[in-house]
Amino acid sequence: MAIIDGFDKAFENKIRLGIMSVLAANGSADFATLKSLLELTDGNLASHTRHLEEAGYIRCEKSFIGRKPNTTYMITESGREAFAAHIAALERFLQGCRS
Protein backbone atom coordinates (compact mmCIF):
# COMPACT_ATOMS: atom_id res chain seq x y z
CA MET A 1 0.00 0.00 0.00
CA ALA A 2 1.50 3.32 -1.10
CA ILE A 3 1.67 6.17 1.37
CA ILE A 4 -0.57 8.29 -0.89
CA ASP A 5 -3.33 5.68 -1.24
CA GLY A 6 -6.70 7.18 -0.40
CA PHE A 7 -6.04 10.57 -1.97
CA ASP A 8 -8.98 11.60 -4.17
CA LYS A 9 -7.85 12.97 -7.52
CA ALA A 10 -10.84 15.36 -7.53
CA PHE A 11 -9.28 17.21 -4.60
CA GLU A 12 -5.70 17.45 -5.92
CA ASN A 13 -6.41 20.93 -7.24
CA LYS A 14 -6.16 23.63 -4.56
CA ILE A 15 -9.28 25.39 -5.86
CA ARG A 16 -11.41 22.25 -5.56
CA LEU A 17 -9.89 21.58 -2.16
CA GLY A 18 -10.88 25.13 -1.16
CA ILE A 19 -14.43 24.76 -2.49
CA MET A 20 -14.90 21.50 -0.63
CA SER A 21 -13.41 22.97 2.56
CA VAL A 22 -15.86 25.89 2.50
CA LEU A 23 -18.81 23.62 1.78
CA ALA A 24 -17.77 21.01 4.36
CA ALA A 25 -17.52 23.72 7.01
CA ASN A 26 -20.73 25.54 6.07
CA GLY A 27 -22.91 23.02 4.25
CA SER A 28 -23.55 25.50 1.45
CA ALA A 29 -22.31 28.73 -0.06
CA ASP A 30 -23.40 30.88 -2.95
CA PHE A 31 -21.33 31.60 -6.04
CA ALA A 32 -20.40 35.13 -4.93
CA THR A 33 -19.24 33.93 -1.52
CA LEU A 34 -17.04 31.18 -2.97
CA LYS A 35 -15.67 33.57 -5.58
CA SER A 36 -14.78 36.13 -2.90
CA LEU A 37 -13.36 33.71 -0.32
CA LEU A 38 -11.22 31.86 -2.85
CA GLU A 39 -10.38 34.98 -4.92
CA LEU A 40 -11.40 33.39 -8.23
CA THR A 41 -12.74 34.58 -11.55
CA ASP A 42 -16.27 33.60 -12.57
CA GLY A 43 -14.98 31.22 -15.23
CA ASN A 44 -12.44 29.55 -12.97
CA LEU A 45 -14.99 28.95 -10.23
CA ALA A 46 -17.60 27.69 -12.71
CA SER A 47 -15.13 25.23 -14.21
CA HIS A 48 -14.14 23.74 -10.87
CA THR A 49 -17.66 23.57 -9.46
CA ARG A 50 -18.77 21.80 -12.66
CA HIS A 51 -16.05 19.19 -12.13
CA LEU A 52 -17.17 18.60 -8.54
CA GLU A 53 -20.82 18.42 -9.63
CA GLU A 54 -19.98 15.83 -12.29
CA ALA A 55 -18.21 13.77 -9.61
CA GLY A 56 -21.38 13.95 -7.48
CA TYR A 57 -19.60 15.74 -4.64
CA ILE A 58 -21.61 18.96 -4.77
CA ARG A 59 -24.94 20.05 -6.20
CA CYS A 60 -26.20 23.47 -7.15
CA GLU A 61 -29.52 25.23 -6.91
CA LYS A 62 -30.35 28.23 -9.03
CA SER A 63 -32.88 30.78 -7.86
CA PHE A 64 -33.63 34.47 -8.03
CA ILE A 65 -33.32 37.02 -5.28
CA GLY A 66 -35.56 39.72 -6.57
CA ARG A 67 -34.57 39.91 -10.23
CA LYS A 68 -31.00 38.82 -9.62
CA PRO A 69 -29.94 35.18 -10.28
CA ASN A 70 -28.37 33.32 -7.37
CA THR A 71 -26.48 30.02 -7.53
CA THR A 72 -25.96 28.13 -4.30
CA TYR A 73 -23.71 25.09 -3.94
CA MET A 74 -24.21 22.36 -1.36
CA ILE A 75 -22.01 19.44 -0.43
CA THR A 76 -23.63 16.05 -1.05
CA GLU A 77 -23.43 13.13 1.35
CA SER A 78 -21.06 11.32 -1.01
CA GLY A 79 -19.02 14.53 -1.27
CA ARG A 80 -18.80 14.79 2.51
CA GLU A 81 -17.70 11.15 2.75
CA ALA A 82 -15.13 11.47 -0.06
CA PHE A 83 -13.73 14.68 1.41
CA ALA A 84 -13.46 13.16 4.89
CA ALA A 85 -11.66 10.13 3.41
CA HIS A 86 -9.28 12.45 1.53
CA ILE A 87 -8.50 14.43 4.70
CA ALA A 88 -7.94 11.18 6.61
CA ALA A 89 -5.52 10.03 3.87
CA LEU A 90 -3.67 13.35 4.15
CA GLU A 91 -3.40 12.89 7.92
CA ARG A 92 -2.06 9.34 7.45
CA PHE A 93 0.43 10.70 4.93
CA LEU A 94 1.62 13.36 7.38
CA GLN A 95 1.94 10.77 10.16
CA GLY A 96 3.95 8.56 7.81
CA CYS A 97 6.29 11.41 7.01
CA ARG A 98 7.22 11.70 10.70
CA SER A 99 8.38 8.11 10.99
CATH of the domain at 26: 1.10.10.10
As for how many domains the chain has, the answer is 1
Whether residue 28 lies inside any domain: the answer is yes
Spans of the chain below 70 pLDDT:
1-4, 99
Whether residue 16 lies inside any domain: the answer is yes
Whether residue 51 lies inside any domain: the answer is yes
Please list, in sequence order, all residues whose beta carbon lies within 8 angstroms of the beta carbon of residue 10, skipping any fewer than 6 positions away.
16, 51, 52, 55, 57, 82
Check residue 65 and give its pLDDT.
86
Dist. CA 71–CA 11, nearest whole Å = 22
Check residue 3 and give its pLDDT.
62
Check residue 2 and give its pLDDT.
63
Whether residue 5 lies inside any domain: the answer is no
What is the span of the domain harbouring residue 83? 10-98
Dist. CA 46–CA 71, nearest whole Å = 11
Check residue 85 and give its pLDDT.
93
Whether residue 3 lies inside any domain: the answer is no
